[in-house]
Amino acid sequence: MSRQVFLHPIANTIAKLLILGIVGGAVGLTVFSMLVARSPLMAQVDIAPVQPVPFSHEHHVDGLGLVCRYCHVYVEDSAFAGVPQTEICVGCHSQVWADSPTLAPVLDSYKANESLEWNRVYDLPDYVYFNHSIHINKGVACVSCHGQVNEMPIVRKQSTLHMDWCLDCHRNREDNIRPRSEVFDMHWEAPEDLEALRQRLVEDYHVDVEQFNITDCSICHR
């Protein structure tokens, strides 16, 4: 079930107006926290939507050893991680389990040159700006936001996507980075000199802890 179902277009418009109205205002935050407390939108954490094919990350990532970027090919370079074209699946499934009814929708959509309609698990409202590549390039790992996807037979939402969730990490962002080469690694173990490593990364990746305020409204509401 997509979260958008609950977000009537009018809700987007109201939120946009609210943001325009209170950005910069000293009362903004108070008004905002009251709004969130009363927000009818449910965070739907731990919910897994029904999918056209029961695709298992557990099986393909931990089982077969496929790296995230094998399927989410844009995640390092664009705002969107993107969900894979069925071409990628057919690369293997024209051979493996090719006759299985479970996989029929994949092969059918490929033959018809159509995309499979996957239901979104993570979906921000339109008035929030988010960008994967910025996070990945600063050394924020998939697991920090999406949890142990490698252990999920079906992807379940692991974070609220509420504003507080974004802000909590932005305020402590030096504690949430690792070497870029490790962002896909779902089993990464921090080294003993973690503090020193992080200090180095903050400099190397220009994580501007003091230079600008990453909790400014205009960073996410543009």
Q: Which residue has the tokens 């946009």?
A: 16
- For residues 22 and 14, is the Cβ–Cβ distance under 8 A? no
According to the binding rule CB under 6 A, does residue 190 interact with ligand HEC? Answer: no
| Cα of 56 vs its chain's centroid, Å | 17
Structure-block tokens of residue 112 = 């018809």
CB atoms within 10 A of CB 110: 19
| Least distance CB 37 / ligand HEC (angstroms) | 9
| Least distance CB 208 / ligand HEC (angstroms) | 4
What is the distance between the alpha carbons of residues 166 and 144, in angstroms, rounded to a whole number? 11
According to the binding rule CB under 6 A, does residue 71 interact with ligand HEC? Answer: yes
According to the binding rule CB under 6 A, does residue 150 interact with ligand HEC? Answer: yes
CB atoms within 10 A of CB 136: 20
CB atoms within 10 A of CB 135: 20
* Positions in 115-134 near ligand HEC (CB under 6 A): 118, 120-125, 128-132, 134
Q: Applying CB under 6 A, which of residues 114, 203, 204, 208 lies at the interface with ligand HEC? A: 208
Angle at 217 between CA 131 and CA 119, to 5 degrees: 40
| Least distance CB 127 / ligand HEC (angstroms) | 7
According to the binding rule CB under 6 A, does residue 80 interact with ligand HEC? Answer: yes
Residue 142 or 198: which CB sits closer to ligand HEC? 142
| 107-115, 145-153, 187-195 -> range binding ligand HEC (CB under 6 A) | 145-153
- Judged by CB under 6 A, the number of residues near ligand HEC is 90
According to the binding rule CB under 6 A, does residue 72 interact with ligand HEC? Answer: yes
